[in-house]
Amino acid sequence: MTNDDNSVVQLTAVRKEYSDSVALDGVSLGIAAGEAVAVMGPSGSGKSTLLNLVAGLDRPTSGSIVVNGEDLGDLTEKGLALFRRRRVGMIFQFFNLLDDLSALDNVALAAQLTGTSAAKARTRALELLDELGIAGRRNLHPAQLSGGERQRVAVARALMNRPALLLADEPTGALDSRSGEQVMDLLLDLNQIGQTLLLVTHDERLAKQCATRVIHVVDGRIASTSDLEHTP
Ligand SMILES: Nc1ncnc2c1ncn2[C@@H]1O[C@H](COP(=O)(O)OP(=O)(O)O)[C@@H](O)[C@H]1O
Ligand SMILES: [Mg+2]
């Protein structure tokens, strides 16, 4: 599902205004398949806005966003909802799991929403939980899991539909340093087997460990970009 030019994300002159502020002010950015791009910057600089636009959770005021060959501006609301379910996986700081569902059902639901049968969805969900080392916790509810386990469930959910792009907004922000490191290792492993990654983080170490490129956003603009050498 990648394009001829190998580009997974292309933002061109993206601007996002809210009623009383400008969150993004002319952002252009390309991400190729297999890259891991970390976005850093002060609080309020527009990082989450950027991620939410790429995820199709919101629309820009102007400029274009193409993800996996689809120009999000061409999609209807329904098309955008399908895009969110099928093409991108998203991980949040506070996990955003459903409290009333088991770990397994939280993960399986992501595929059921795209029309996969419950039995098939549960089979794949169990495989993913197993790969992430938490299959033994599958019948527990989020409240019964540690923060690190919850985030691994959220990663499994995000991977359910084999997304072209994995988006993570402060994925270690609510975790103790040990669990944060485990999630960080997980993201690194996923990128090393080819998963394209766009992640927002305050954590310089996470950025350096996971990312092939770090983008610094200040006041809604890309202030600088640095490429990182990786020695696996
Ligand atoms: N839904 C919203 N309505 C109004 N203003 C918003 C909204 N979301 C973000 N903003 C504003 O946009 C700017 C960027 O926010 P955000 O993208 O959340 O920054 P960051 O994630 O870097 O902390 C801030 O000034 C914030 O107050
Ligand atoms: Mg944010």
Q: What is the pLDDT along the chain (232 residues), one digit of tens a residue?
A: 444 568 999 999 999 999 999 999 999 999 999 999 999 999 999 999 999 999 999 999 999 999 999 999 999 999 999 999 999 999 999 999 999 999 999 999 999 988 899 999 999 999 999 999 999 999 999 999 999 999 999 999 999 999 999 999 999 999 999 999 999 899 999 999 999 999 999 888 888 888 999 999 999 999 989 888 665 4
Report yes or no: 69 and 45 within 8 Å, Cβ to Cβ: no
For residue 93, being part of any structural domain is answered with: yes
For residue 232, being part of any structural domain is answered with: no
d(Cα 183, Cα 189) in Å, to the nearest integer? 10
Strand runs (DSSP E) across the chain, as ranges?
7-18, 21-32, 36-40, 62-67, 70-71, 88-91, 165-169, 196-200, 213-218, 221-227
> What is the domain range of residue 186?
7-227
Is any atom of ligand 1 closer than 6 Å to the C-beta of 43? yes
Report yes or no: 165 and 68 within 8 Å, Cβ to Cβ: yes
For residue 1, being part of any structural domain is answered with: no
Residue whose CA is closest, atom 11 of ligand 1? Answer: 23
pLDDT for 3 equals: 46
What tokens appear for 208 in the block? 């350096």
For residue 191, being part of any structural domain is answered with: yes
For residue 127, being part of any structural domain is answered with: yes
Q: Of all atoms in ligand 1, which is nearest to the CA of residue 45?
A: 22
For residue 143, being part of any structural domain is answered with: yes
Measure 44 CA to ligand 1 centroid, in angstroms: 6
CATH number at residue 183: 3.40.50.300
- Tally of domains within the chain: 1
Strand runs (DSSP E) across 19-158, as ranges?
21-32, 36-40, 62-67, 70-71, 88-91
pLDDT for 1 equals: 43
pLDDT for 230 equals: 61
Residue whose CA is closest, atom 10 of ligand 1? Answer: 23
Residue whose CA is closest, atom 1 of ligand 1? Answer: 18
What does the chain come to in residues?
232
Based on its alpha-carbon atoms, the radius of gyration of the chain, rounded to whole angstroms, reads 17
d(Cα 189, Cα 166) in Å, to the nearest integer? 13
Residue whose CA is closest, atom 7 of ligand 1? Answer: 18
Is any atom of ligand 1 closer than 6 Å to the C-beta of 23? yes
Decide: helix, strand or coil at residue 169: strand
Report yes or no: 31 and 54 within 8 Å, Cβ to Cβ: no
Decide: helix, strand or coil at residue 121: helix
For residue 209, being part of any structural domain is answered with: yes
Is any atom of ligand 1 closer than 6 Å to the C-beta of 44? yes
Is any atom of ligand 1 closer than 6 Å to the C-beta of 46? yes
Q: Of all atoms in ligand 1, which is nearest to the CA of residue 52?
A: 17
pLDDT for 61 equals: 98
What tokens appear for 37 in the block? 């791009």
For residue 2, being part of any structural domain is answered with: no
d(Cα 217, Cα 165) in Å, to the nearest integer? 20
Q: How far is CA 25 from the centre of its chain?
A: 22
pLDDT for 134 equals: 95
Of the ligands numbered here, which is closest to the C-alpha atom of 42? Answer: 1
Measure 92 CA to ligand 2 centroid, in angstroms: 10
pLDDT for 2 equals: 42
What tokens appear for 19 in the block? 């009623």
